[in-house]
Amino acid sequence: MRKIYCIAFFSLALFAATHAQNSKDSLVLVYGKMLKAQDSTPMSGKIRYEKLPYYDDMGIASSKSDGSYKMQLVFGKQYNLYIKESGFKPYEQVLDVDASKSINLYVVEDIVELRKLENLNFGRNSDEITSSSFSELNELAIWMNDNPSIVIQLEGHTDFGGNAEASLRLSEARVEAVKEYLVDKKVSKNRIFTKAFGGTQPVTQERTPEARALNRRVEVRVIRR
């Protein structure tokens, strides 16, 4: 009889240990919507998740056009959620997975009212965009396509030396070249305005080569969100 009790006790203990292990490693559903923080409109994108502290469970969940997402995470663990989408500030959150739950993720738009295209370059006295500029212009196009309500004005400037009329024409040709590039990347031309200033609005009055380079610029102004 004692032998039977021992076997029964051992079996029960084994079942309990197995059940505890299965519960520990069981998956639970985390779901919700990815939304723009400004107006709670849905957005599609990718959510990266990493199990802490060893990152031994990693993956990517995608949100649909209505913002909805879902992912299976290990019960009782901590995860780092990370979102990096063009035109938005990086989103990061540590999540304790203690049950199936619904969580909405609010991502903040990174809208700059006026910024210079730092890596935009043209041929000397030309409106031809150099290949080194493509990466930054591609990022701008992606940002505009991801945010279809945004309307911008491209503002062209030259240094203040030389013929004023020629400088005005050159700055106009350059912003039109940038607009054409963005339109080729599927940005609607109705969302891009242009304005040329020539050398009338220098950022510095110095005449060094470095100062003249600072004055030769194209800036992006957000005129409607």
End-to-end CA distance of the chain: 81
Pairing label, strands 27-36, 101-102: parallel
140, 197: one domain: yes
- Which pLDDT score, from 0 to 100, does residue 38 have? 83
Separation between Cα atoms, residue 130 and residue 120, nearest integer Å:
8
The structure tokens listed for 164 are 């004023």
Is 90 exceeded by the pLDDT of residue 162? Answer: no
Predicted confidence (pLDDT) at residue 156 exceeds the cutoff of 80: yes
Annotate 34-62 with b (16+ C-beta within 10 A) or e (fewer).
bbbeeeeeebebebebbbeeeeeeeeebe
HSE, side-chain direction, 13 A CA sphere, residue 135: 3
C-alpha–C-alpha distance, residues 195 and 225, integer Å: 19
- Return the pLDDT at 104: 97
Q: What is the pLDDT of residue 106?
A: 96
Q: Are residues 128 and 94 in the same domain?
A: no
- Residue at a domain's end among 73, 107, 141: 107
Single out the residue in 107, 125, 147 at which a domain terminates: 107
Q: What is the DSSP string of 4-56?
A: HHHHHHHHHHHHHHHHHHHHHT-EEEEEEEEEETTT--B--EEEEEEEETT--
Whole-number percent of the chain with pLDDT over 90: 41
Domain finish residue from 82, 107, 132: 107
Averaged pLDDT for residues 155-173: 83
Q: Is residue 102 part of a domain?
A: yes
Does 16 have pLDDT greater than 50? Answer: no
CATH classification of the domain holding 81: 2.60.40.1120
Same domain, 69 and 126: no
pLDDT of residue 30: 97
Same domain flag for 118 and 45 = no
Domain housing 54 = 27-107
134 and 85 share one domain: no
Could you report the per-residue pLDDT of 87-96, keeping only the tens digit for each?
Answer: 788 999 999 9
Same domain, 82 and 155: no
Confidence of residue 126 (pLDDT cuts 50, 70, 90): confident
pTM: 0.48
205 has a pLDDT exceeding 80: no
Report the CATH number that the domain containing residue 218 is assigned in CATH. 3.30.1330.60
Do residues 126 and 213 both lie within one domain? yes
Residue 16 lies in a domain: no
Query: Do 200 and 133 fall into the same domain?
Result: yes
Residue 3 has pLDDT above 70, yes or no: no
CA atoms within 13 A on the CB side of 64: 7
Instruction: Tell me what the mean pLDDT of segment 44-52 comes to.
Output: 96
192 and 137 belong to one structural domain: yes
Confidence at residue 125, expressed as pLDDT on a 0 to 100 scale = 79
| Whole-number Å distance between alpha carbons of 82 and 73 | 15
